[in-house]
Structure 1
Amino acid sequence: MEVTIERCGGWIGRAERLGPVDIAGVPQGSARRMRAVVSEMGFYGLPATITKPGGADVVEYKTTIAVGARTHIVYSNDLSEEAYQQKLADLIGLLELSGAKFAVIEPASNSKAAMEALRYDLTGGGITLAYFTFGDLKNERILWYSDGDRSLDFYHTDVRTGDVPDLDGRCVMVKLKGAGAKAVTATLLVPSVCFTGADTAWSTPVDAAMIIAGPAASGRGKSYHAINLVGEARNHD
């Protein structure tokens, strides 16, 4: 089992990484306690994003645990469920006791040019989602969507994206279920958000919208349902 924990925001003021730490390389007693904490977290059963909207002073975490070919990533923050955050703190403490230390993640570039928000975390109307603007570039997940009945991941082959100049934003369209005339689709509209300068905030509140389209009850044409979403745009993943 290999563990990597990244954090940023809040009092930290910079992005830091702990690990990756291969549990096989730590004393057996410590390794056993680490595995127990991961089990108590219910880590592999958690959705990819359990963050909750908050201010710029909230500390954000990205926890990655790999076992063989299996890798699971969970994004959380100080406002996530208290029980999870306590277990995460326990895991960090055990990793630090084993000799691992947080190290500053050096930016890829010192450019002052504007950088597009890398992810949006949004909720509203019973929907929770995370949109990753870099997904189509890295062949990674672009959208995670949950509406209480289902939790879905969408990758570059599953989505259509495009800029909306008149709205100063971007749209992302995915198919939730069905096919052809019976398909139910969701189109996410997010504002364009850019951060500039090395001392920019880690995140900013945003409003967005999602339009759900499906077959009309009459059987002719489509019906549309617009949902207001609120959350944060972030300049880190």
Structure 2
Amino acid sequence: MAQSPAQGPQPVTVTYTSVSTALKVPTLAPTRLVVNGAVLSTSSSPRVSYTGSNVQEDYLAADGTTVVRTLLGTSYTVVPLTGLISASPAELFSDSALGIITNTVNGQPLYNTQANWQTGAAYVKVVRHTIGDELYTYDCAAPATTGATPTPCSTSVSTLEGFFPYASTTDSKTYQIGDGQIVTVAGVRAWVANAPLGAQTTDYRVYYQTSGGISAGYLIKDGTTLQIAPIGGGTPQENYLFLNGAALQSITTAIRF
């Protein structure tokens, strides 16, 4: 950021680099949401502002203006890191992607287990909540697309009433119309399941009407607390963990691949 959000909302420039010289940054597929009836791709670079003691992240569409999704970060905690990386708090390895380096390949560790955290290393814990309903959409069938027209589940049915029963291969379940409610969400007429899908963050199966037929998605409702599944499995937890610059450099130096 060019300056603090205390001076007003600030755009954040997000770039991806690999902490390993042996691995390239993967190409990430765009995340698509339905906003006011249109399918928009969200960028990974948010606009950040303060809301009282909390931090609001507005993720924008390609036009740089339309807000596609909003998150509110609360309960910020800074945890200093000192000593051996291998002796770090258990949550740092179990509740974040950093835990991948604790694996071994043919019995060999992926990082120097005798490496220490650099001076000033720390991580931040934050709880994040959705502001507004988030209707994600995707290709229900082939072909795979990346634009504003995901491949629908059906092009021969124009209304939700005529779509059910529907056998979802994604969910391994046949949905009946009575398994959900027909409502208007994100500017489209949609069927929203009564029961959650069972992901770490509570979400619901959605089928919605478009000019091309019936498309699929899932809904994360307004006010939902985002959850993360631990690396090794177990009960989802609500703390997102972020390394600071000194901590990231410590990991870059310690890894062996």
Give the TM-score, by structure 1 length: 0.23
The structure with the largest strand share of the pair is 1
**Higher relative contact order structure (alpha carbons within 8 Å, sequence separation ≥ 6):** 2
Give the TM-score, by structure 2 length: 0.22
When Rg is computed on C-alpha atoms for both structures, the one with the higher figure is 2
The structure with the largest helix share of the pair is 1
